[in-house]
Structure 1
Amino acid sequence: MDHRKYKRGYFMPPVQSLEWCKKEYIESAPIWCSVDLRDGNQALITPMNLEEKIEFFKLLVKIGFKEIEVGFPAASNTEYNFLRELIENDLVPDDVCLQVLTQAREHIIKKTFDSLEGCKNAIVHFYNSTSYAQREQVFRKSKDEIKQIAINGAKIVKDCAKNTKGNFRFEYSPESFSGTEIDYALEVCNSVIDIFEPTKDSKLIINLPLTVEMSLPHIYASQIEYMSNNLHNRENIIISLHPHNDRGCAVADAELGILAGGDRIEGTLFGNGERTGNVDIITLAMNLYSHGVNPNLDFSDIPSICALYEKVTKMPVYERQPYSGKLVFAAFSGSHQDAIAKGMAYHKEKNLKTWSVPYLPIDPKDVGREYESDVIRINSQSGKGGIAYVLYNHYGIDLPMHFREAFSYYVKNISDEMNKELSPKEICDIFQNDFVNLSSYLKVLDFVFKDTDNNINIALNVEYKHQSFNITSSGNGRLDSVANALREILDFKFDIIDYSEHSLSKGSSSKAISYVYIVSDEKKYFGVGIDTDIIKASVYGLISAINHILKSLKGA
């Protein structure tokens, strides 16, 4: 690798333009134009067929796009036929405008207008490349010659529109704007503007594409601001931005470009497009949403959008794709899980109307995600708060604080050994099988309590070491009396440290659950009992804890 063969291929504006950086945030959503059916489709290994394109088009309409670029109808029969299918079958709502792309060449422009016959609303987007590298290496033409291509194209487009029935708007792109001298790009664009003479009711779109992303985002913003300040008839111009993602900064380019004067964004869902792709409109829109700005696009059901996108494009949505990926709201880290669980509880407790949960920039439910299945995910990196959150939210099991840490380590060790994430059901199965109503070594057969003035007496029948024992004892409480009875047949000491209980409110509201925490030989043991009778549940919890001691003593 020899870095010396590279030089900066972009051009700074001739006048410094930095007013944009004084703005704190974007105040309103830009005009959105989806180019999924052109840029996104041409970048697919297997392009969409007609049925898939129509399905995708309907999705874009449902999301709320009012401008949708449907292709290059003069370039191929497939794109021509798709456009005709939309028009002839009346698939385009009255408030949606179709956009078509054409080179600034006469025969292509004329065929493009032929393809638009009967279209209610259309944007004819014509372009020619203006960059230094393309002028020098591809076209081998001077600046004036390249500018003349743009001028001739504008005149042909204007003439064709006059002679074609329909409602047309126009867009011009100095393609490879990012590699064009900025004062020259301005000169070319102003020449096109002067031909169209846009008005308040018939504005012209000037698209300034980052055809190849060459600079830091602030450079692009300065270029946009310079163009915005110097374009002719600016009040009747819509500045459109079309960022590509070669440097991985397309979203930043777009956001800073809007601050600098951009009015409109061309991009794709999930950033699909040639090379590294276009700007991801979902990320841009949801960034606005997270700042309290209405994006005017509906992404309330991201899972279904992902499913249709993957179906028609045969491309996966990356698990970490902002807002859209399956794991973007998932927390595996213990500290993150704890903060999220406490934040969610705080919001519920305080009935807060604004969102500020740690680690979650937006409410996952706003984009169709579920807290229970999407937010807290359990593997060997998880913490006590996350595992407790899963048990409580899925099954109503509210682990006592002292039990949470022990159970979390128990679950994490299993996850580590299995080398996999554990589902809520798997976690509950571990809890049920390894802690609830255990009877492997010591089993309760029957018991009867009798209250006296000072104590509670018990007659206890248990099975231990393959023998049946009938024991009587007493204590200052029911659990204490059971413990005293068991001490008569067990050859180790133990003390009850804590006991708690609650009703199981989810799934089986008639049942009670008890948690018993005991210590033997300075080691902690936990047991859980579940039964419709709270007294039985507490006894089963103590027996379960003792079974853990017996298991450890046998080395099982």
Structure 2
Amino acid sequence: MSQRVQIFDTTLRDGEQVPGSQLTTDEKVIVARQLEKLGVDVIEAGFPVSSPGDFRSVVEISKAVREPIICALSRAVTGDIDAAADALQYAKRGRIHTGIGSSDIHIQHKFNTTREKIIERAIAATKYAKSKVEDVEFYCEDAGRADLAFLAQLVEAVIGAGATVVNIPDTTGYCLPEEYGGKIKYIFENVSNIHKAIISIHCHNDLGLATANSLAGISQGARQVEVTLNGIGERAGNTSLEEVVMALKVHPEMGLETAINTKEIYPTSQLVSKMMRMPIQANKAIVGRNAFAHSSGIHQDGFLKHNLNYEIMNPQDVGVDKSDIVLTARSGRHALKHRLELLGFSYEKAAVDELYSRFLEVADIKKEVNDADLVALSKAFASV
């Protein structure tokens, strides 16, 4: 089995479905070019049948980006597939991503049909998409809540109809990691033609488990993971690209790798945040403002002695300049002395102890002490 995990980025499709975060075609092209620089394998560029703007965006991204596969979403509907194929006409490598619901909830309450009819529609859609492009991905929507035996039957049917990738989405973010990993394991053990397709995972974050579920799926043999920058997306969001990529990098014992240039993670994250008007929470893993910041005295002391005491990755590896020592009333003498020395001030232990008492008084008032405050504090101390 391949040890390479393909990164399928859906920032411009699923991510862009967040209310208030829509992009113009020109903006999407800018983001797509940065995604290419980041090294993603697949860019899901849009849902062409949904609007003229989305159709045009897929066309223009197909023209602008040459390395990644360009993917267009469709339902298992002939008109959708036609629109996707037309939008992909300029793509160097195009993929149609079609599919239908796989859970009994969707089958009964969304499609008002039967499992047998779902399989018929799935086969027909896959074959029709295959007549348009060579690379066809099929999504089994709401697979997270689907009956396992039926899900395996559906996966086998669409692979038999020509699907090159089969997506097993936890559409509602319902699954627990062990449960989701078990679904992927079951599919590998019960689909006879599984070797003819790549199994993909697409997890949502409704319970905050999207990354954990994705890693569970990868550990059971899935070799494509569908993600967004900063974890943006419907409701509570999608699996975060940066979290999955860095989890695999930090854990080489998993024996898995991606083609991502991790030094482009932070710049890409910032671009997406700015263009989509989606602020990044301060404590967001990998790319949040505090991801490499230390304010506790115990942590600062340990970090200054050796960064591995409190950091499991180098900030430079994800495109962040450096770690940050934030001075607050929780900071200790070691951090204060370190920052003063960076500013050109050197003191003996007794002087540091006295300065530290004054520093705490300022910190209690200001909450966070900056370099200008320290310079003023040092000058006042020297004049005494």
Report the TM-score when normalising by structure 1: 0.66
Gap change, CA 1:303 and 1:267, over 3 Å in 2? closer
SS of 2:49's equivalent? Answer: coil
Contact 2:41 2:259 in 1 (8 A): no
Q: Give the equivalent residue in structure 2 for 1:475.
A: none
1:328-339 equivalent positions in 2, closer than 5 A: 328-339=291-302
1:118 to partner: Cα distance = 3.2
Measure how far apart 1:210 and its partner are.
0.6
What is the match of residue 327 of structure 1? 290
Cα distance in 2 for partners of 1:176, 1:232 equals 22
Q: Is the 8 A contact 1:193 1:232 kept in 2?
A: no
Change (3 A) 1:188 1:278: same
Letter in 2 for 1:319: A
Which of structures 1 and 2 has the bigger CA Rg? 1
- 2:312 is aligned to 361
- Measured after TM superposition, the shift of residue 29 of structure 1 is 4.7
What residue number does 1:435 align with? 381
Q: Is the 8 A contact 2:9 2:228 kept in 1?
A: yes
Q: Which residue of 2 aligns with 1:128?
A: 100
Secondary structure at the aligned position of 2:64 is classed as coil
Residue 116, structure 1, aligned to residue 88, structure 2: yes
For 1:409 and 1:69, locate their aligned partners in 2 and report how far apart those are by CA, in whole Å. Answer: 56
Contact kept? 1:376, 1:389, Cα under 8 Å: no
Is the 2:45–2:61 Cα contact (8 Å) retained in structure 1? no
Distance, in Å, in 2 between the alignment partners of 1:425 and 1:286 is: 35
The answer to whether the 8 Å contact 1:385/1:404 transfers is no
| Amino acid aligned to 1:376 | I
**Residue in 2 aligned with 1:384?**
333
1:331: how far off?
1.1
Equivalent pairs counted in the alignment come to 381
Describe the shift of the 1:375–1:179 C-alpha distance in structure 2 as closer, same or farther (beyond 3 A): same
The aligned counterpart of 1:14 is: none
Counterpart Cα distance in 2 of 1:423 and 1:72: 48
Point out which structure has higher relative CO (alpha carbons under 8 A, 6+ apart). 2
> Which whole-Å CA distance do the structure 1 matches of 2:93 and 2:268 have between them?
26
More strand by share: 1
Q: What is the CA-CA distance between 1:185 and the residue it aligns to?
A: 0.8
Return the TM-score normalized by structure 2: 0.94
> Mapping of 1:215-364 within 5 angstroms?
215-292=175-252, 294-344=257-307, 357-364=308-315
- C-alpha deviation, 1:301, in angstroms: 4.7
Contact 1:378–1:387 (Cα < 8 Å) also in 2: yes
SS at match of 2:173: coil
Change (3 A) 1:410 1:28: farther
Deviation at 1:294, TM superposition (A): 4.9
Q: Does 1:159 align with 2:131?
A: yes
Instruction: Indicate the SS of the match to 2:262.
Output: coil
Task: Determine if contact 2:143/2:170 at 8 Å carries over to the other structure.
Answer: yes
Residues in 2 aligned to 1:85 and 1:280: alpha-carbon distance in whole angstroms:
25
Q: Give the helix-richer structure, 1 or 2.
A: 2
Runs of 5+ in structure 2 lacking a partner? none
Question: Paired residue for 1:513?
Answer: none
C-alpha distance in 2 between matches for 1:311 and 1:91: 21
Q: What letter corresponds to residue 33 of structure 1 in structure 2? A: F
Three-state SS of the structure 1 residue aligned to 2:199 is strand
Cα distance, 1:169 vs. partner? 0.5
Deviation (angstroms), 1:260: 0.9
Identity score, percent = 26
- Letter matched to residue 220 of structure 1: Y
- Native 8 Å contact 2:228 2:240 kept in 1: yes
* Paired amino acid for 2:381: F
Q: Is the 8 Å Cα contact of residues 384 and 407 (structure 1) preserved in structure 2?
A: no
Residues 219-247 of structure 1, C-alpha deviations (whole Å, 9 max, x = no match): 10011100012223222210100011111
Per-residue deviation, 1:276: 0.5
Take 1:294 and 1:180, find their aligned partners in 2: how far apart are those partners? 30
Once residues 166 and 110 of structure 2 are traced to their aligned partners in structure 1, the CA distance between those partners, rounded to angstroms, is 24
Counterpart of 2:278, as a letter, is: M
Q: Deviations over 1:411-462 (max 9, x none)?
A: 12111123x3111232122112x212x2xxxxxxxxxxxxxxxxxxxxxxxx
